[in-house]
Amino acid sequence: MQKSGKSYGQAGSVITIVAIVFLAVALVAAIGFGVWANNGRKDYKNNSDQKVAIAVDAAKKAATAAQKDADAQLAKSPVLTFTGPTVYGAVKYDYPRTWDGYVDTTSTSTPINGVYYQGAPPLPNDLGIFYALRVNEVSDDYSSVVNSFNGAVKKGTVTATAYVPPQMVGKPNVQTGTRFDGLLGNNIQGAMVVLKVRDRTLKISTESPQYLNDFNNTVLPSLTYVP
């Protein structure tokens, strides 16, 4: 009996040791997992904060850009209006008040010869200037002006589409004109509308992509004339 009891005690000791070792391993594992999880949370928090900061900065920049654009648009209003000689079709159009320009209406061969620019006035004969708006009413035949773009259209540097100013749609005696978009010549990337006005031809254009929005949304929608 004594021998049997002694063996039972040894077995109990072994079980106790195993349990202690198991608990110790479990404790170390739990501590390691806790450290790993804590580091993971810190890393996530740091990355998350960085992403939030980047998003906030991007939102601020977008808001600033939008405000600048809104201010620029507001500065252009109210628009100014030009009206040409009645005898030559009373060509009329609006343009942003932030544009300065010069229009000569004294010539009978070119009763409207005007250029508009934004900012400092260009130097005389400065070939490097691209005008916000150029307006010419010339004595050249409409078809000859349109045909002068045939080569560019064939090469694909210019596209040609039929065009009638919005305010002239449905008016009596109005002939469909032509709009050209692309490389208009001399490195001028822009758009030009060619229209027949009485016995004259009206050419109205912008010479830089930066003015296309004003050209499309202010100048052309306001354009009127007596056919």
204 lies in which domain range? 80-222
Print pLDDT tens along the chain (227 aa): 444 444 445 555 555 655 565 565 666 666 766 667 677 676 666 676 676 667 656 655 554 554 555 445 555 568 999 999 999 999 999 999 999 999 999 999 999 999 999 987 676 556 678 999 999 999 999 999 999 999 999 999 999 999 999 999 999 999 999 999 999 988 899 999 999 999 999 999 999 999 999 999 999 999 999 99
Across 141-167, b (16+ Cβ under 10 Å) vs e yields: ebeebbeebeebbeeeebebeebbbee
Specify the number of domains making up the chain.
2
- How far is residue 160's CA from residue 213's CA, in Å, rounded to a whole number? 19
What is the reported pLDDT for 2?
Answer: 40
- Same domain flag for 54 and 96: no
pTM, whole model, 2 decimals?
Answer: 0.67
- Same domain flag for 102 and 203: yes
Whether the link from the prior residue into 78 is cis, omega within 30° of 0, is yes
Cβ contacts of residue 188 below 8 Å, gap of 6+? Answer: 130, 207, 208
Burial class (CB in 10 A: 0-12, 13-18, 19+), 105: middle
- Same domain flag for 63 and 49: yes
Check which CATH number belongs to the domain holding 210 and give it.
Answer: 3.40.1000
* Domain stops at, among 27, 45, 75: 75
Angle CA(186)–CA(83)–CA(122) in degrees, nearest 5?
35
117's torsion region: left (phi>0), alpha (psi -120 to 50) or beta?
beta
